[in-house]
Each structure stands twice: as structure tokens, then as C-alpha cells.
Amino acid sequence: MVIDLALPFDYLDSMAWDIAVSAVLLGIAALRLPYKASSDSVEEGGKNLRAGFAAAIGASGFYLFITGIAIGFTWPFSSSGGVYNILFGGVAALGGLVLLATSVALFLNKGLSAVSYFAVVVGLYAVVDAIAIVNYNLTRDPQLAALAYLSFAVAAFLSVPATHSDNKWLRWLFAVFAFLFAIAWLYQAANFTWGHLKPPPPA
């Protein structure tokens, strides 16, 4: 089953941009926040920076969660038998929850390691999605779409060592994959927006 993603779907492209934004924020946060795994908190010197990241990540997560839930309620891809509603809506809603949990943990300055366990499970969901994309030939470019989902999964898996150790190289590794995740979704987002802006053929 192949679907053309150049659809009159109001928020699919903005969801992809939002995913890219969240990946950039997570990568920068991993590099800039003075986080101590031993206390599972950000050092007091980073209070203002922590609050800023909490707000930005929370806003990104809220939008992703709401749009993911909206897909589940409105079922916009009914012509595909609902396949794409599951592909886009489920992981978006759960990814949004991970971002919201990260935002709350940063705001309260507690528990990033606990959030990483949640991220791993959502990462496994993305792996299943990626395998299904390739196996069932979903989207116009299944390999590229699968890589975009896998890029999120790898970053989710790396969040565990990044939040359980003070080793700076583990933080850098997480940040690198977060930025690769961002690049993959920036490319997806640009394609979605380009397709949605294409004018209809003349009557």
C-alpha cells in the first residue's frame, strides 16, 4: 500500500516540523544543561536555562500530543483503511507525552532518568513502525521514512545511558543522534510542506 503524502492535511507537515524542533532542543539541552546523573537533577547554576528548555520542550510536546490525539479521533486517512492514522497518530501522541514528561521533569528539576525508560518503550514502538513501513511499502519513500522513525528510536535508546551517567561522551553521543534525528525529520517536514503547497491541477 502506497500513499501520496501530498494531501490536504492541515497539520501533518507542522507535526513533522515540530518533531524536528524537539530533536534540536533535546540535543542542545544534552550539551548545555549542567545535569548530574548522580543526583538526577540540573545543578543550580543552570536554573534559568533549565526553565527555558522546560518551556520550549513542553510547548513542542503539547502540540505533538494534541495533534497525535486528533488523528486518533478524526481518523483523517480513512481511505487507506486507517493504516496511516496508526502510523502517524500513535507515535506522535506517545512522543508528545515523552516530551511533556521531560518538560515537567526539567521544570521540577527531577527524574530525567525515569523519563528515559518511557522514551525507550516509545522508541520500540517507532522500530515496529519502521519495520512495517518497509515491509508494507508505506509512504512514497519507505526507506527514508523508516530511517526517520529509526533515528528517533536510536535517540530514545541512547537517552538511558545519557541520563544515567556523567560521562560527557555519552551526552555527546546522544546529542549527535538527536541532531541526526532532527535532520531526518527536517527533510521529511520540507517534503510534506512542499507537497501540501503544490497547487491543484487546472480544471
The per-residue pLDDT for range 41-94, each reduced to its tens digit, is: 888 777 889 999 999 999 999 999 999 998 888 888 777 678 888 899 999 999
Structural domain contains residue 113: yes
- CA distances, 108 to each of 25, 101, 104, 105, 135 (Å): 18, 11, 6, 5, 42
Sign of CA dihedral 124, 129, 130, 135: positive
Give mean pLDDT, residues 19-36: 95
Structural domain contains residue 181: yes
According to the model, what pLDDT value does residue 9 have? 52
Binning pLDDT at 50, 70 and 90, where does residue 95 land? very high
CB neighbours of residue 34 within 10 Å: 13
Total of domains in the chain: 1
Structural domain contains residue 7: no
The pLDDT mean for the chain works out to 89
Structural domain contains residue 145: yes
Is a pLDDT exceeding 70 seen at residue 151? yes
Residues 59, 124: Cα–Cα separation, whole Å: 24
CB neighbours of residue 1 within 10 Å: 10
According to the model, what pLDDT value does residue 122 have? 97
State which residues form the domain around 85: 12-196
Structural domain contains residue 202: no
Task: Name the pTM for this structure.
Answer: 0.90
According to the model, what pLDDT value does residue 10 have? 60
Structural domain contains residue 3: no
Domain CATH code at residue 142: 1.25.40.600
Structural domain contains residue 5: no
Share of the chain above pLDDT 70, in %: 94
Give mean pLDDT, residues 123-145: 94
